[in-house]
Structure 1
């Protein structure tokens, strides 16, 4: 089955969600995203038969927008079934930016093997999905793929150990998927896996007796001062108490200052130049920075937090145009929603230190109200199974699938551009 460009771009795209899941390297930095195409709940029965249409639609979107907007500097893993493999529209993808992930449903017949070899000659790389043992499919495809994805939830620890050991000397890289706990991650590290996919890094590992570090305390104190509308002198004094924070603030403002002759040398000038709203946003992002104050956009937790923040902000502005305060609260909820994972503290203890409204607290603690529904939408879009919970949250808010996909792409693009706007090193 072949599909030409006209067929792809004319396919109905309203009924599919675009999600992406982060893929991390052994250093816990982002290396790729898997792009996931989910049918809307009312079309779930047709999800498998419509898979090629969903893939074609997102490939067309990615081609029109540019893969960079969807995944930034990272690689994209794109699932392909036999129909997609044999189609012409797969050629719309840039070979140097994607890894084609062969689904476990693909029959490695002679035609499929020939097509994979043809695409490899064009520069495409391949991954084999959901490997749980040495099947006939694996034996026929293993020499043609670059990455082997192992579903760690589908097999026992002993089976995982045996499988990883048998593949350890193979030239292919091993990727552990559905890694949901830190213990699973450590086991896969020991077994020689190169890549990791799953939300283990975003799970709050609550530690008894854990204390917030001095630098985190400074940022949280400043956020509390801003939230309580403290005067400029109190905010300036709090910034000046931390030399690194003062230095980074001056660097940030001078990187944004208008004109080559405009150089800001005092903290008080910097605070005026930046303004309360931007200072609050910068501090929220800075919480996820490295100990020396660098914002590294290949940190998966920072990517998730800032994406959530921007998603909620754009949802809020779509629903309540002109409500700047509401949009700022939405951004705060999104970016704070992973602070329990960041600080290894329960969310209620963190919220005791930051002055936020009851509406913000209710969203963060109970996913309550409109903001809670927005946060639920963001969480569902992170590559989990986009299903009825997502649709219910969208219905509650009055947002369409088309609107949320446009908001999502705009959020991805904004996060990608953060490097220039939050340069704190």
Structure 2
């Protein structure tokens, strides 16, 4: 069974290691009309995606990271699962799959071909889990689905079998710290993007330096003034030169000096790289495998491309889209309320309405991207797309183009 590829959405959820850096993405494929995950639809979605994997190229979707791909019993037993690159994917056996002798034999066969496996949504050591646990590399535990009193004993038992544990649905810093103590290796959930607002907190000097530079760019200061301001911070200078020499910057030939960078890039591109630099770890080089930076740049690029699709050729609208996307996670970055941040930074009215209240066209675009991140790919998402006169196909093409752009950036900046 297969359905037209254009009927499916793609959601990409980050998986982090103990050091809070990206190690993988879980790829989720959903039909456009369903409000809940539907097994039949999802099996068809997996089939459609795998059959297109050779055309898309998994590296365009996940870059240097691994991809966790959900597989049903039908997908595991099928021939098309072998279209996936064994070195790039971890096949995630859904909790609905029964460990029949035939299925266990198939998992052994695929392992012999180099595939790795994870068990999804484990909440207890059932017969099916026990039958498959020796064959898998990673066990995903749904921390919301396990009684907190039982979680320590369940994790201890599975760790004794030398399995790497992945905590799913980690939504708060407290949950992350608990799972860290229990010995989990990997973490999935949006705890890292949740603003932990600290009352009276001020923006750090290193971050203020970049915001001051953004103000200079926005206020049309001359190139010499901007260059002097950049040179006051050696790390900003270094990171800016590294960023502008990536393929994603789209500049031909090597740029060696700040003056040249400012001249060649122009104000629009300079503003973009400074916005990206906000997410660099203070006092360190830009690291594209920081999840907040990946998420913010993906949002920025998607809103830029959505703006261009809706308003072809209108670069100013596209730039505002990029700004809204990348600024949308600064509350989590600075541990401050968005209101306090926007009191510090001069942001245009449309962008301000989108960031504070998800209002206006940019607010609608941001809502769409947030629904995709959370895998809420049902009727609300379809309706939001229709309101902006975008199709499902448009959105997936925009998303893949954004992923590819981020991956180009990540290839050079590490």
User: TM range, normalised to the smaller chain?
Assistant: over 0.9
Go from structure 1 to structure 2 and tell me whether the alpha carbon gap of 1:49 and 1:227 turns closer, same or farther (over 3 Å shift).
same
- Give the conservation status (yes or no) of the 8 Å contact 1:29–1:300: yes
**Is 1:104 matched with 2:95?**
yes
> Which residue does the alignment assign to 2:29?
37
**Is 1:139 matched with 2:130?**
yes
- Give the conservation status (yes or no) of the 8 Å contact 1:101–1:126: yes
> Which residue does the alignment assign to 1:335?
326
Go from structure 1 to structure 2 and tell me whether the alpha carbon gap of 1:113 and 1:189 turns closer, same or farther (over 3 Å shift).
same
Report the Cα distance in structure 2 between the residues aligned to 1:249 and 1:279, rounded to whole angstroms.
Answer: 9
Go from structure 1 to structure 2 and tell me whether the alpha carbon gap of 1:253 and 1:75 turns closer, same or farther (over 3 Å shift).
closer
- Give the conservation status (yes or no) of the 8 Å contact 1:15–1:401: yes
> Which residue does the alignment assign to 1:28?
20
So what's the TM-score if we normalise by structure 1?
0.92
So what's the TM-score if we normalise by structure 2?
0.94
- Give the conservation status (yes or no) of the 8 Å contact 1:227–1:356: no
**Is 1:17 matched with 2:17?**
no
Q: SS at 1:126's partner residue? A: strand
Report the Cα distance in structure 2 between the residues aligned to 1:106 and 1:278, rounded to whole angstroms.
Answer: 49
Pairs aligned (count): 411
Report the Cα distance in structure 2 between the residues aligned to 1:336 and 1:320, rounded to whole angstroms.
Answer: 21
Report the Cα distance in structure 2 between the residues aligned to 1:185 and 1:246, rounded to whole angstroms.
Answer: 34
Report the Cα distance in structure 1 between the residues aligned to 2:337 and 2:36, rounded to whole angstroms.
Answer: 39
Report the Cα distance in structure 2 between the residues aligned to 1:73 and 1:336, rounded to whole angstroms.
Answer: 25
Report the Cα distance in structure 2 between the residues aligned to 1:21 and 1:45, rounded to whole angstroms.
Answer: 17
Report the Cα distance in structure 1 between the residues aligned to 2:200 and 2:149, rounded to whole angstroms.
Answer: 34
Report the Cα distance in structure 2 between the residues aligned to 1:181 and 1:323, rounded to whole angstroms.
Answer: 39
Q: SS at 2:287's partner residue? A: coil
- Give the conservation status (yes or no) of the 8 Å contact 1:221–1:353: no
The more displaced of 303-312 and 46-55 is 46-55
Q: SS at 1:186's partner residue? A: helix
Go from structure 1 to structure 2 and tell me whether the alpha carbon gap of 1:172 and 1:208 turns closer, same or farther (over 3 Å shift).
same
The more displaced of 96-105 and 241-250 is 241-250
Return the offset for 1:110.
Answer: 1.2
Return the offset for 1:103.
Answer: 0.5
- Give the conservation status (yes or no) of the 8 Å contact 1:377–1:393: yes
Alignment of 1:61-140 (within 5 A): 61-140=52-131
> Which residue does the alignment assign to 2:302?
311
The more displaced of 11-20 and 28-37 is 11-20
- Give the conservation status (yes or no) of the 8 Å contact 1:224–1:353: no
